[in-house]
Structure 1
Amino acid sequence: MKILIATYWLIPHVGGVWVYIQDLKASLEKLGHEVDILARHPDENSYYIVNTGRRVEKKLFRPLIEKKIKAVYASQPIPIDPWIVDQEIEFCSYALAASYLGLRSYDIIHAQDVISSRALWQIKPDGVPLINTIHGCLATDFWVSLEGQTPSDSIWKYACAREYYGATSSDLAVVPTQWLHKTLGSYLVPGDHMEVVPYGMNIEHFLQRTKERNSFRLPKDNCNILCPARLDKVKGHSSLLDALYLLKQSRTDWRCLFVGDGSLREELEAKALHLGLSPYVVFAGSRNDVPALMRQSDIIVLPSLNDNQPYAVMEAQLASKPIIVSDAGGIPEMVQHGQTGLMARAGDSGELSRCLELLIENKPLRNRIAKNGHSWGLKQWSLPAMTDRIEELYGQLRSNKHIRKALHPPKHPAHHGSKICTYFRNAYQMDIPKSFSIVDDHIVGSILFQANQS
């Protein structure tokens, strides 16, 4: 088979989705398949086929799309939030870029997020099956990040609609956890549209990476705590800093290394300074030597407020390191409290602090949890098992043995942007379906026109 793995996210990047894509691609190629990757380029101004370098700049599409979408939305009786407008412009740009780079040669398309899935579902040729793996819930992450604030009604409706339409814009959706299966069900995604397939990892490759030499040296006279996660509100770093502040009141024989970057870095560094934690914590930024840093660490901590099946937990277990996690999202499916890790309630800094203190002072417990976690990880995180199941699902879709369970409501019959599509078909020989519309076939267009007709 010739397979296209597609994502809206920037590739390459440091994160679980990129690890999943790389491992799946390599495993499928070992089975004899040909695999391409479609993603946004790190320059944020273009889209490309990662493994071949074929590339198209966003400016080829965006000006025409932007003009049309803004004109249509400006004519609506209710103003549309500028953030939503920009999201739809990005969404449509991705769809046209995929068409420009070409989709007809693929036997199957495997999208990796709700944005790319929705875009490719609308622009792909008929007869090419599309499966998606949903790695998390953007709407739930957004809600958690608000920290109790109430979003505008239009933005929240858009977030929920994007989740539903993105997950169901496929012949079948794959989710890694029962938690995500249930969560997407709360956004009305039919349960029988989803298949639970837990992640797998290239265990041998990861263990080799733990032995690599690196320039960062952690102090040997303290207990070293590692928190490997992007600096995002849903990852719970603020709660961890509060826990470390409480820990500092009773002992100071530890250091904590934050590995990851993000928009919260300045805020978190300021909070660490305010709490008097600067001598005890280090913000190391984004690094590609996390496996080697895990080997040097004594404890791994992941205090997420919302998460699905984080690779950091899998990696800690395989690296034979004791881990402290929160009970957020799908994490309880990965860790048995007291056996393969310790678990604190999400956002409870006091409970998290007590877990840290317990592992720091009890080395036999650390060793037992590390050993149990390693044994569990070797059995649970099998990459061949994951790949075999994914390949089996590909086969079912290609042989029409799977009947799609999700049906979308009818769209408004107008087709805004038909002249734009005709222009691109003629100027660049792009294979754009006649049904494709710049506005109407997208989430916001559907919601707006349904509202107007009610």
Structure 2
Amino acid sequence: MKILLATYWLIPHVGGVWKYMTQLQQRLEAMGHQVDLLGNSPDYSKFHIVNRGRELPKDQIRPFLSAKLAQEYAPQLHADRIIYFYEEDRYHLELSAAYFGLDQYDIIHTQDIFAARAISRVKPAHVPLVAQVHGSVSGELHNHFRLNPHLGITEGSPAWKYLKSIEYYGASSGAVTITSTHWQKNELIRDFGVPENRVCVFHYGLDTLDFWRKAQAGTNMRRPVDKKVIIFPARLSFVKGIDVLISALGMLKYIRQDWVCWIVGNGEKMEELQRQVDGLPLSNVRFVLGERHDIP
């Protein structure tokens, strides 16, 4: 089969969705299928099928979109900058996917609500769409708004309501919607009204061969003698809760000192997290930056 794995998010990217997509691609291709990877470019300037070298710069289609989404035609979009940003970029994805041609695929597997919603609107009717969600976009952004009241976005704001609605429409766009946990399935049903019969749970797998290959290859990191090592590999972002981990370590240091913590990854919270570590202070917490290939 010819399969399209698609996301609204950046690819390539240091993060779980990109890792998931590449592992799926490798396994499916090993089984004899052909797999393409579609997503936003790392600089947000275009959507591209990264493994084929095909791309459509947003600057080439923005004038057309600006004319179609002018204020006299879509006043609600212009009333809120957050709504306009996500809707304009979703239309960029729709037009790019249509330009690349979706009728060549036997099945399409999206990785987020924006890609699911966009591609469901332009794909041929005979091509099935599997919509997988790896997290809650509205949940993450609603928390961001609560923690930043100066933004002025509350439960009654258009942007708040928009995110809840796009969560519903995105998660309802596929022939089947996949979550990795029953907790997330129940959240989609209870909080967003997604029909229960559309959602199934498929737990994340582990590439055991790759795991043991990396484990046996070793690493240049050396653990200190007689100390336990806590390793936290993740994108350094708010939703990962790394600040909570650091706060907990700040309490742990008064109880015992037989440990070190290595926080592995990159992200926009790096400087803020380093300041938190320095302020406690925690001399036994170390940031190991960059994408590493020695973590099984």
- Superposition TM-score, scaled by structure 1 size: 0.60
Are residue 212 (structure 1) and residue 217 (structure 2) matched? yes
Of 145-154 and 115-124, deviating more is 145-154
Provide the rounded CA distance (Å) in 2 between the counterparts of 1:220 and 1:74.
64
Per-residue deviation at 1:222? Answer: 2.4
* Matching residue of 1:159: 163
* Matching residue of 1:442: none
CA contact under 8 A between 1:177 and 1:198: conserved in structure 2? Answer: yes
Helix, strand or coil at the partner of 2:295? helix
Counterparts of 1:29-428 in structure 2, within 5 Å, are 29-72=29-72, 75-76=75-76, 80-146=79-145, 151-152=153-154, 153-185=157-189, 186-277=191-282, 279-291=283-295
Percent identity between the two aligned chains:
39
Helix, strand or coil at the partner of 2:124? coil
Q: Give a deviation string over 1:205-258, Cα, whole Å, max 9, x none.
A: 122112234443333342221111212222111111111111111222321111
Provide the rounded CA distance (Å) in 2 between the counterparts of 1:156 and 1:178.
25
Structure 1 residues 72 and 270, CA gap change in structure 2 (3 angstroms): farther
Unaligned ranges ≥5, structure 2 = none
Per-residue deviation at 1:68? Answer: 3.5
Per-residue deviation at 1:70? Answer: 4.5
Provide the rounded CA distance (Å) in 1 between the counterparts of 2:266 and 2:219.
19
Per-residue deviation at 1:126? Answer: 2.5
CA contact under 8 A between 1:226 and 1:257: conserved in structure 2? Answer: yes
Q: Give a deviation string over 1:121-161, Cα, whole Å, max 9, x none.
A: 11112322111111111111223344556633211101101
* Matching residue of 2:21: 21
Which residue identity is paired with 2:102?
A: L
Helix, strand or coil at the partner of 2:224? coil
Provide the rounded CA distance (Å) in 2 between the counterparts of 1:270 and 1:41.
30
**Structure with greater proportional strand content:** 2
- Which structure would you say has the larger RCO, counting Cα contacts within 8 Å and 6 or more residues apart? 1
Structure 1 residues 75 and 200, CA gap change in structure 2 (3 angstroms): closer
In the comparison of the two structures, how many residue pairs are matched? 290
Indicate the structure (1 or 2) with the bigger Cα radius of gyration. Answer: 1
Provide the rounded CA distance (Å) in 2 between the counterparts of 1:83 and 1:109.
28
CA contact under 8 A between 1:14 and 1:288: conserved in structure 2? Answer: no
CA contact under 8 A between 1:40 and 1:47: conserved in structure 2? Answer: yes
Q: Give a deviation string over 1:38-93, Cα, whole Å, max 9, x none.
A: 112223212221222222222111233135424247745x9622121111111111
CA contact under 8 A between 1:73 and 1:79: conserved in structure 2? Answer: no
Provide the rounded CA distance (Å) in 2 between the counterparts of 1:213 and 1:94.
41
Which residue identity is paired with 1:240?
A: L
CA contact under 8 A between 1:73 and 1:80: conserved in structure 2? Answer: no
Helix, strand or coil at the partner of 2:130? strand
Provide the rounded CA distance (Å) in 1 between the counterparts of 2:142 and 2:294.
29
- Superposition TM-score, scaled by structure 2 size: 0.90
Q: Give a deviation string over 1:186-222, Cα, whole Å, max 9, x none.
A: 2011111111111112111122112234443333342
Per-residue deviation at 1:28? Answer: 2.2
Which residue identity is paired with 1:21?
A: M
Which residue identity is paired with 1:44?
A: Y
Provide the rounded CA distance (Å) in 2 between the counterparts of 1:173 and 1:91.
19
Which residue identity is paired with 2:17?
A: V
Which residue identity is paired with 1:158?
A: Y
CA contact under 8 A between 2:235 and 2:267: conserved in structure 1? Answer: yes
Unaligned ranges ≥5, structure 1 = 293-454
